[in-house]
Structure 1
Amino acid sequence: MANYLKPVAAILLPNIGGYLGSFVTRAQTRPSKPGEITWYQALKKPSFQPPSWLFPPVWTGLFCSMGYASYMVYRDGGGFEGEAALPLACYGTSLVLNWAWSPIFFKYKKLGLAFAEILGLWGSIVATMASFYQVNPTAAYILIPYLGWVSFASVINFCIWRNNKDRTD
């Protein structure tokens, strides 16, 4: 049983942060009263933006895969003391940046700052992938969908910021 605790913990960690961030998101995307329009609903969004219901399952899948990839690096790179130390620090940085995006965008409504932040997140994912590759190439490849989704989210964030400058920072 103990052999399963570390991968389960690695998978749960990003999901916990994502789950907590969903409270901020939910408060800004769902009306509290019937007929009410939230700040987010009133924003001008690009035509290619996916429906809101798609984001939770996509992020759950991405968080699970990210967590497992981090476990693979932890396992194969000697944990936090071995060659996995730097890759796991890069991964931790990307988690913090990922979790910070929702409050910046939804709670504080700082669309330009959120765009700058997501660009930093994108860079941290690239650094994580490069460092994971040195320890376990498969773990790096597992992060490709994450990079793709964040790239797409960056374009959406930019378009929302550009189309709503009169409402934001």
Structure 2
Amino acid sequence: MPVPVSALGAILLPHIGGWAGSFLVRKHYSSWYMTLKKPKWTPPKYAFGTIWTVLYSSMGFASYIVYKEGGGFQGKAALPLAVYGANLAFNWAWTPLFFGYHSFKWSVIDGLLLMVTAAFSGSLFYKVDEKAGLMLIPYLAWLGLGSSFAFYIYQENDKAIK
């Protein structure tokens, strides 16, 4: 029997990991994070919440479109949604790796896997519904910025933290 998916549920799903991760960010932001050497192009603190809210919402809605247009988990949407699920897992893992474990190396590796699965998701979404695939482009752009940010921090701070 097909599992019904609502647009609201699909939109809220990506936010779950973001909300959970925000507790780690709050715990470490003012202490540990502020001691790190960061690039001059570091986005301001206030931008992250707004940007992630928009990105998570558009990712979720794109997944809903794919689910609906691709015949659900039993149709041609099955593979795109599975890759999207893997992408969410990598997305949700990044914050605990970086802020919880202070592991720059693993957050960079996770970021690369995150970008690969996001690009693959976007490509697969596009094959089901062009608009859904295009909706992931801002997410990919933000991940590119975030990955370069994490790599900079890894290069500049990893030896000092250990």
Superposition deviation, residue 109 in structure 1? 0.1
1:98 to 91, 99, 102: 91
Instruction: Indicate the RMSD between aligned Cα atoms, in angstroms.
Output: 1.0
Contact 1:28–1:39, Cα closer than 8 Å, also in 2: yes
SS in 1 for 2:43: coil
Q: How far apart, CA to CA, are the structure 2 residues paired with 1:168 and 1:157?
A: 14
Match of residue 114 from structure 1 = 107
Q: TM-score with structure 1 length normalisation?
A: 0.91
Is contact 1:111-1:168 (8 Å) kept? no
Q: Which runs of 5+ in 1 are unaligned?
A: 31-37
TM-score of the superposition, structure 2-length normalised?
0.95
Does the 8 A contact of 1:129 with 1:140 survive in 2?
yes
Does residue 8 (structure 1) correspond to residue 8 (structure 2)? The answer is yes
Partner residue in 2 for 1:158 = 151
* Equivalences, count: 158
1:87 partnered with 2:80: yes
- The structural deviation recorded for 1:166 is 2.0
How many angstroms apart in 2 are the aligned matches of 1:99 and 1:10?
16
Check conservation: 1:115, 1:154, Cα contact below 8 A.
yes
Counterpart residue identity of residue 64, structure 1: S
Unaligned runs of 5+ in 2: none
Q: Say which is worse superposed, 158-167 or 60-69, in terms of deviation.
A: 158-167
Is 1:41 the counterpart of 2:20? The answer is: no
Question: Which residue matches 1:70?
Answer: 63
